[in-house]
Amino acid sequence: MPPQNLPNANLILILGVISLVISWWHLVSLAGIILAIITLVMANKEKVLYEANPSSYAISSLNNVKAGRICAIIGLIISIIVFLIVLLVITGILLTLPFWGMIE
């Protein structure tokens, strides 16, 4: 019997790429964080599944899982940075609102 693909390999790759793409937009950076975490959890489960019986699964599907995991890690880092910058900007604006009336 030829090796089969890991069940969620393509989904992990797609979710990893999506988390990387949406991580740059400040309005959905929180969604990028959530999506990247989901992708990382799924990738770890697939890696454990592969390591339990490597001869049953195709190496190409493991490579898809690895690529999706790398994209999710990069997307997670970028999303966190963008989210923190947006949070700092909003906090800075809100903290300075009482002082805007003093400037004349």
What does the pLDDT read at residue 104?
Answer: 57
Taking CA atoms, 85 is separated from 39, 49, 70, 90, in Å, by 23, 38, 23, 9
pLDDT band at 27 (very low <50, low <70, confident <90, very high): confident
Structure tokens at 88: 């700092």
For residue 50, give the nearest of 12, 78, 23, 103 by alpha carbon: 12
Calpha distance 14→75 (Å, rounded): 12
Q: State mean pLDDT over 81-90.
A: 91
Biggest alpha carbon–alpha carbon distance for the chain: 80
Q: State mean pLDDT over 7-26.
A: 94
- Look up tokens 């898809």; give the residue: 64
What does the pLDDT read at residue 36?
Answer: 97
Helix, strand, coil percentages, rounded to 5, for the chain: 85, 0, 15
> For 52-69, how does the pLDDT look when each residue is reduced to its tens digit (9 = 90+)?
999 999 999 999 999 999
Q: State mean pLDDT over 35-50.
A: 97
Q: State mean pLDDT over 8-33.
A: 92
Average pLDDT over the chain, rounded to an integer: 91
User: In the chain, at which residue ranges do the beta strands (DSSP E only) sit?
Assistant: none
Residue 1: pLDDT over 90: no
Structure tokens at 33: 């964080």
